[in-house]
Amino acid sequence: MNSDSSLPSLSTSSSPAPDEQMPSDEGRDVPQVRLKGEGGRLLLLLPPELDTPSAPNTWTEVCRQLQQRLMAGERFWQPHTPVHLMTRDRLLDGRQLQTIADTLTDAQLILKRVYTNRRQTAVAATMAGFSVEQQPIAQLSVTQSNPPPEGKALVEPLYIQSTVRSGVEIRHPGTVVVLGDVNPGGSIVAEGDVLVWGTLRGLAQAGSAGNGLCLIMALRLEPTQIRIADFVARAPEAPAQYQPEVAYVSEGGIRIVRAADFSRDRPI
C-alpha cells in the first residue's frame, strides 16, 4: 500500500466510551495519541500533558491509546516504516521512551527519531540511545492539520485491502476504496467517493466535507446507512438479487441505481 502521504485518521473504540473519537483536528493541541503519515514517514503525536490528575492523558492512557492506534491502523503502513515521535512539551523519561520504542517494535515499526521541545526529554532520549531533535518542529506542520481550504484537491485515494469489521471507523480526506466487505458496525467516512469491491453492510459517508457530487458504490449495497454530503438514506429494501449499485445525490435526495444503469451524465 502506498498511501504514506495520506494516512487516514482511524479510530476504533475498544471501550464503548463515546470520547474515543478525536474531537477535532483544528484544535491547537492534539488531544489523543495520533499516527499520521507525512512525506513517506509516520509521525507519532503524543497529546500534551495536563495538570489535573483526573486528566485523561496520563501515561497509562497514552500507552493504551498507542496500542489501540497501532492495532487499528496496522494495515495502513508497511512493516519497518520509520516513526518520528513528536513528544512536544511532554516530559518523558528513558523508561517511557523505551516502552514506546518496544511497542512500536511489536507492531513492526521503528522508532527513528524523537522530537521534543523539553530539554529533559531530549536528555533522556539521548541517554537511552535515540536520535533526538530538540526544537519546535514547525516544518512538520504537526499542530496545524487544518481541513483543506475551499477547492483544494483531495488527497490520493486510500486502498483498504481487508474486511472493515465492526468497531472500525476509517476516515480519509479523499476517496476510499475497499477491496473487501464493510460489515455492520464498521464505517467509512470519505471526503471523496466510497467504492466497496464487496458487500457494504455498515455505514458509508461520501463527500463528508460537503461535496454532493460524491458517490457510493458497492458490488452489494445493503448498508446500515449511507450519507452523501448532508443527505442521509437508510438501508434500501433488500432486493431479491444483488447487483452492483451506485448511490448518488439527485433532486434533493439520495438515489440508488444499478451500476449498469448509472450514467455519468446524470443530471446534477
Footprint of other proteins (CB under 8 A): 12, 14-15, 71-72, 74, 162-163, 165-168, 181, 183-185, 199, 201
Q: What is the 3-state secondary structure (H, E, C) of the chain?
A: CCCHHHCCEEEECCCCCHHHCCCCCCCCCCCCCEEEEECCEEEEECCCCCCCCCCCCCHHHHHHHHHHHHHHHHHHCCCCCEEEEEEECCCCCHHHHHHHHHHHHHCCCEEEEEEECCHHHHHHHHHCCCCEEECCCHHHCCCCCCCCCCCCCCEEEEEECCCECCCEEEEECEEEEECCCECCCCEEEECCCEEEEEEECCEEEECCCCCCCCCEEEEEECCCEEEECCEEEECCCCCCCCCCEEEEEECCEEEEEEHHHCCCCCCC
Min CB(121)–other proteins separation in Å: 26
Q: Which is nearer to other proteins, 214 or 221 (CB)?
A: 221
Min CB(202)–other proteins separation in Å: 10
Q: Which is nearer to other proteins, 131 or 162 (CB)?
A: 162
Q: Which is nearer to other proteins, 107 or 190 (CB)?
A: 107
Min CB(81)–other proteins separation in Å: 16
Q: Which is nearer to other proteins, 145 or 163 (CB)?
A: 163
Q: Which is nearer to other proteins, 107 or 249 (CB)?
A: 107
Alpha-carbon distance 170 to 176, whole Å? 9
Q: Which is nearer to other proteins, 148 or 185 (CB)?
A: 185
Min CB(199)–other proteins separation in Å: 8
Q: Which is nearer to other proteins, 181 or 193 (CB)?
A: 181
Min CB(190)–other proteins separation in Å: 20
Min CB(168)–other proteins separation in Å: 6
Give, in order, the Cα–Cα distances in Å from 258 to each of 32, 183, 191, 204. 42, 21, 23, 17
Min CB(221)–other proteins separation in Å: 15
State residue 218 phi and psi, 5-degree precision.
-150, 150
CB 95 within 8 A of CB 28: no
